[in-house]
Amino acid sequence: MRIGFIGLGIMGAPMARNLLRAGHALVVYGRTRARVEALVAEGATAADAPAALAAEVDAVVTSLPDTPDVEQVLEGERGVLAGARPGLLVIDTSTIAPDAARALAARAAACGVALLDAPVSGGEQGAIAGTLSIMVGGDPAAFARARPILAAIGRQATYMGGAGQGQATKLVNQVIGAVTLAAVAEGVVLAARAGLDPGAVVQAVGGGAAASWMLTNLAPRMQRRDFAPGFMVRLQQKDLRLALAAAARLGVPLPATALVHQLFAAVEARGGGALGTQALVTALEALAGG
């Protein structure tokens, strides 16, 4: 397939590379010239606007920070819909509000474009390895068309229902992941204060009922003070705001999620918004007087 890719950040760039490695012809657009040039050097071609990109391809994949970014890229003056031909497939892997995903899908359909909301989970490592979990909402026929693309960027693509349901599932993912991360951070702080060997703690706890992706992948980074972002605090906060807003509309209390949101706010208040989410441990260390 001839595929366009828009958004070449921490997640987008490795996803685009995996599409190239799978043999797809790739056209890319991004705001950071160096990231575009890196992919061109690997075999992609560059477009000067989302509309121009859309006019050249069979499918477009987007990976963008927030709802307004997706709306601008799709509906802006030089956006994807401005250049789209009927039958274009758009796969949005960003995490945005479910209601916004439904509205965008309806407006795309009016232009003859099928839009899937397909947020991903697995972090930068999963994006690089092509092992992401993908949660998909939209038309079932469009999901069937998207399978070769999804197979190149993820290990598992699960169809969740109509438009917006992929985003709703991602919010569930973020609630579970963030609360688990907080538990891991609390354990790391307790282990350090007790004088336990950091590596031995992860090995011992990871072999039992407390095992998790967060423990295996992020506890060691907390322990060695590696706060480089695989997923930024400020983006996690955006996702938690979306989850809390959705829960409020549905009348669902999320007390643990609300607490984690406040702990991340403490990290942001100290200038840590661009750090990786494992920097949550610094808020707990501050509470412990360390």
Give the residue numbers annotated as catalytic, written as ranges.
170
Q: How far apart are CA 101 and CA 65, in angstroms?
A: 14
Q: How far apart are CA 14 and CA 113, in angstroms?
A: 26
Give the C-alpha distances (Å, rounded to integers) separating 251 from 92, 160, 167, 244: 28, 22, 18, 10
* SS3 per residue for 184-242: HHHHHHHHHHCCCCHHHHHHHHHCCCCCCHHHHHHHHHHHCCCCCCCCEHHHHHHHHHH
Q: How far apart are CA 115 and CA 91, in angstroms?
A: 6
Pairing of strands 120-121, 132-137: antiparallel
What are the two backbone dihedrals, phi and then psi, of residue 139, each rounded to the nearest 5 degrees? Answer: -70, 130
Q: Which residue has the tokens 């061109």?
A: 40
As a residue count, the chain comes to 290
CA atoms within 13 A on the CB side of 14: 17
SS3 45: strand
Q: How far apart are CA 260 and CA 182, in angstroms?
A: 7
Q: How far apart are CA 4 and CA 13, in angstroms?
A: 12
